[in-house]
Amino acid sequence: MIPAKPTEFKIGLFTDLARWRAFVAIGELGSLTRAALFLDCNQSLLSRQLNVLERDCGARLFNRTGRGMELSETGQQLFSRVKALLAEADQIEQDIRGESQEPAGRVTLGVLPSISQTLTRPLFARLRKNWPQIKLKILEGSSGQVEEWLADARVDIAILYRYSPSLPEHEDALAIVDSYLIGGRGDRLTATEELPFRMLDNVPLIVPSAPNGLRTALDSLARQQRITLLPAIEADSLPLQKSLPASEGVYTVLPLHSVWDEVAAGNLQAARIVEPSMQRTIAMATARTKSPARAVKAATTEIHTLFHEFAQAGLWKHTDKAEQA
């Protein structure tokens, strides 16, 4: 019996899948710089990989424009097929490693400072206890920075404030938080549990600089209520927003969890803003990720659990959507 002839594959162009991962990343992000950030590699190295790939293909895969990188006609023809090939290779790797394997790898979290101080320590403790093979990386920044990191896929998970009742697609609502006027010890204005928004008229405030979601919401409500907001100082620094009311007789607007310890210690006072209330949603978004999917899923599950526990402690209201997660 004649033995079966082995299948012959000629795949010289695909012996280095890293170059094709770079091709897909540049095609999706439209920028060599953003692709380098996403892949955690040097931009010059990525450029060289692309040059080698185009030379081997015998055609340009991208057109360089003033706005970045656009797929050429050849690149467009290859893009979906290469992406499917990489997805299949990724699936094969996951199958080989096995579903029973413990989630492992680095998960990068982008978070606002006012949420970070509440979330980071217990999240690290839970991951270390339940998923010791997961390594947590924290990037803390302003809302604009976190949005940019999410868009560039520099973070796997982003925790953000949203001021609109509806969330962008693919975001989960974790909690609903009220806004409070924060004053120093013994301050009369913040001595009550609740404070009508109109009482902020001509009150010296520490506010974040525009553009900022809270600043936009404050300005909009002030126009509706026909009152004058008086920014005494613009500061995006959370430590400044908390320290100046305690010492300088000015005020700021923050969620209660941002000043939980200071209020408990009696160093600051907090009055919930009502008529109308100023509520914001804490939302969680996940990026098109380069980290192990099972590790990211484990981290998001722990975040949901922590937010439920924080709600029980009184830091915020747990949303129905988060409750079902």
pLDDT for 325: 38
290 falls in which pLDDT band (50, 70, 90)? low
Asked if the model's pLDDT at residue 58 lies above 80, the reply is: yes
Per-residue model confidence (pLDDT) at position 125: 95
Residue 324 has pLDDT above 50, yes or no: no
Of residues 290 and 179, the one with the higher pLDDT is 179
Tokens coding 136: 């947590």
Instruction: Give me the pLDDT at residue 15, please.
Output: 64
What is the spatial distance between Cα 52 and Cα 201, in angstroms, rounded to a whole number?
Answer: 63
Does the pLDDT at position 10 exceed 60? Answer: no
DSSP strand pairing (171-184 vs 268-274): antiparallel
The residues, any chain, with a CB within 8 Å of residue 167's CB and separated by 6 or more, are 173, 281, 283
Could you give the CA distance from residue 241 to residue 235 in angstroms, rounded to a whole number?
Answer: 7
pLDDT in tens, 86-107: 888 877 776 666 555 788 888 9
Q: Is the pLDDT of residue 197 over 90?
A: yes
Residues 6 or more apart whose CB falls under 8 angstroms from that of 21 comprise 39, 86
* Confidence (pLDDT) at 211: 76
318: confidence class by pLDDT, cuts 50, 70, 90: low
Amino acid at 298: A
pLDDT in tens, 184-194: 999 999 999 99
User: What are the distances in angstroms from CA 312 to CA 1, 86, 224, 323?
Assistant: 74, 44, 34, 12
Question: Can you tell me the mean pLDDT for 4-24?
Answer: 71
For residue 300, the model assigns a pLDDT of 94
For range 163-174, the mean pLDDT: 82
DSSP string, 156-225: SEEEEEE-SSSPPTTEEEEEEEEEEEEEETT-STTSSSEEEGGGGTT-EEEEPPSS-HHHHHHHHHHHHH
Q: Is the pLDDT of residue 298 over 70?
A: yes
Residue 322 pLDDT class (50, 70, 90 cuts): very low
Task: Name which residue leads in pLDDT, 235 or 9.
Answer: 235
pLDDT number for residue 289: 60
Coil/strand/helix, residue 244: helix
pLDDT (average), residues 216-234:
91
Which pLDDT score, from 0 to 100, does residue 240 have?
86
Does 321 have pLDDT greater than 50?
Answer: no
Whether residue 44 has pLDDT greater than 50: yes
Q: Average pLDDT of 25-50?
A: 87
Average pLDDT on 249-277 reads 91
Two tokens, residue 197: 């928004």
User: Would you put residue 89 in left (φ > 0), alpha (ψ -120 to 50) or beta?
Assistant: alpha
Q: Mind listing the pLDDT tens digit for each residue in 131-162?
A: 999 999 999 988 888 988 888 788 999 999 98
